[in-house]
Amino acid sequence: MPILFPVNGISPEMGDDCFIAPNATIVGDVIMGNECSVWFNAVIRGDVNSIRMGNKVNVQDGAVIHCTFEKTKAIIGNNVSIGHNAIVHGCVIQDNVLVGMGAIVMDNAQIGSNSIIAAGAVVLEGTVVEPGSIYAGVPAKKVKDVSQELIHGEINRIAGNYLKYSKWFKDL
């Protein structure tokens, strides 16, 4: 069973048709939309501030979403993939974004729609990622614009795949 419990009387809320892996942890002030998935060993800690997730968000294995006490909230749009072992901390991620495996997005960063944060990238505190950009490196910098092929072939494909994968586990 996943670990789902309240903090200071506030319990996590899930939308319709969500998959939560048996060893995922979701606590406190977390509200997620419909068709979301939280995978094995992922942690979403709404203990020190609120976390809001849109529809069709997948939080892959080992990823962590958290905030800073009384300073930053985590706001995640629709159709967002947060890759394996990524850290999303007190930032805003707009719609149709791929946060690559092992990437870190720090407090007060703003990730624009249709963007990709490359695997292993570190988006420093307060960084603004323009919509339609690919950011890579440590610290993360813009390396190019996202093409329509990448929006459909990567961002939408991965989000769609995780929706499909979650259905495999719901049928068990």
pLDDT at 69: 96
pLDDT at 99: 98
Tallying the residues shown for the chain, one arrives at 172
As a whole number of Å, the CA-based R_g of the chain is: 15
3-170 — its CATH code? 2.160.10.10
- Dihedral sign, Cα of residue 132, residue 29, residue 122, residue 81: negative
Q: What are the pLDDT digits (tens) for 130-144? A: 999 999 999 999 999
What does pTM read for this prediction?
0.97
The alpha carbon dihedral of 90, 132, 37, 13 has a sign of: positive
**pLDDT on residue 3:** 93
Low pLDDT (below 50) residues in the chain = none
Q: Which ranges of the chain does DSSP label H, i.e. alpha helix? A: 148-150, 157-170
